[in-house]
Amino acid sequence: MGAKYLLPIILLLQGCASIGMGSQHGNCSAGLICKEGPMLQPSATEQLLNLPYPNQKTIVAVYQFNDVTGQRKGGDNIASFSTAVTQGAIHILIEALRDAGRGNWFVVVERSGLDALTKERQLVRTTFENYNGGEAKTILKPLLYAGMIIEGGIVSYDTNVRTGGTGARYLGIGMKNQYREDIVTVTLRAVLVQTGEVLLNVTTTKTILSTAGGSDVFRFIELGTELVEFESGSTENEAVGHATRAAIEAAVYGLVVQGLEKEVWDFNYPSLGEKE
C-alpha cells in the first residue's frame, strides 16, 4: 500500500480520537462509546428555575460550605498541593439558592462576610454621628435574621471509580480509546434556627468523565524497505468545577422537593398536582 492511500485512513482515524462514555441519552446506546459523555437530563439549573413559586420566600443563611474531602489533584510522580475540587463552593451554593424558582424561593442573608458588613455599617453610623449630628436611622435598616441555616459541604471525591476502553488493529492500522470516571458527592441540610432541628438533608453525586482516544499507523511500504509510522490522539477531561456546580444545584433542588414532601415550606400543598 502506498503512502498516498494511507492519508484517507489516517484522517478517518483522527476523526474518532475524541470520544466519551456512552449513555442512554442523546444519540448513544447503552454500553457504547459516544461523543457526548455523561449529562444531567434535564440540567439542575433548569429544574431550579422552573420550580413552582411558594407563598412567601424563606430567609436562609449560609455560614460555610467547605471541601472536607482532603483530596488533592492527581499527578504522575509529583506531589500536588492543589485541591481536587473548588474551595469556593459556598459561592456556588448561594447562587443556586438565589436561582431557585427564579429567585422566588429563598432570601439569602450575608453571613460568610458578616465581619466586613458589620464594619461597613459601623463606618456609616460613625460618619453620620460625626458630620450630621445624629444617627444613621434613615439609611441603615435592621439586619435580616434567618429562620433557617443551610449547611453541608463537599464530602467525597472518588477517583478511578470505573476505567476501561477499547482498541483494534488491522494490517498495522489501529485505534483505541480509554475512559475514567470520578465521582464528587455533596451533602446539604437545612437547620431550623428556633430549635436547632435538622429538618431536611439530601446527598447528591455527579460523575466526572475523562476520555482519551488515539489512532496509529505502522506499515512497511515499497517492498518492505520504507517504514511509515503515524500516531494521533487527544484527551478530554470534564471540568471538576462544572460537575461540582451540578451536584450543588441538584442538592438545592432536592432540598426544595424534600421540603415540599414534608410540608416544610409555605406552599399551597393541595394544589401541587394541579396544572394551570
Query: Among the listed ranges 38-52, 101-115, 249-263, which one has the minimum average pLDDT value?
Result: 38-52
Topology (CATH) of 3-109+146-266: Rossmann fold (3.40.50)
Q: Which residues neighbour 263 within 8 Å (Cβ) at sequence distance 6 or greater?
A: 269
What do you get for the CA distance between the two ends of the chain, in Å?
Answer: 69
Could you tell me which residue, 116 or 124, shows the higher pLDDT?
116
Which pLDDT belongs to residue 267?
82
pLDDT at 38 over 90: no
What percent of the chain shows pLDDT beyond 70?
75
The sign of the torsion formed by the CA atoms of 39, 40, 41, 44 equals negative
Listed by start position, the domains of the chain span 3-109+146-266, 112-143
pLDDT at 142 over 60: yes
pLDDT at 43 over 70: no
Rounded-to-integer distance, Cα 65 and Cα 18, Å: 35
Q: 271: which strand partners?
A: none
pLDDT band for 79, please (50, 70, 90 cuts). Answer: low
pLDDT digits (tens, 9 = 90+) for 160-213: 777 888 888 887 788 888 888 888 899 999 999 999 999 999 999 888 888 888
Q: Mean pLDDT across the stretch 42-56? A: 80
pLDDT digits (tens, 9 = 90+) for 225-246: 788 888 888 888 778 888 888 8
pTM: 0.71
Rounded-to-integer distance, Cα 123 and Cα 142, Å: 15
- The mean pLDDT value of the chain amounts to 77
Q: Which residues neighbour 243 within 8 Å (Cβ) at sequence distance 6 or greater?
A: 184, 206, 207, 208
Rounded-to-integer distance, Cα 193 and Cα 144, Å: 13
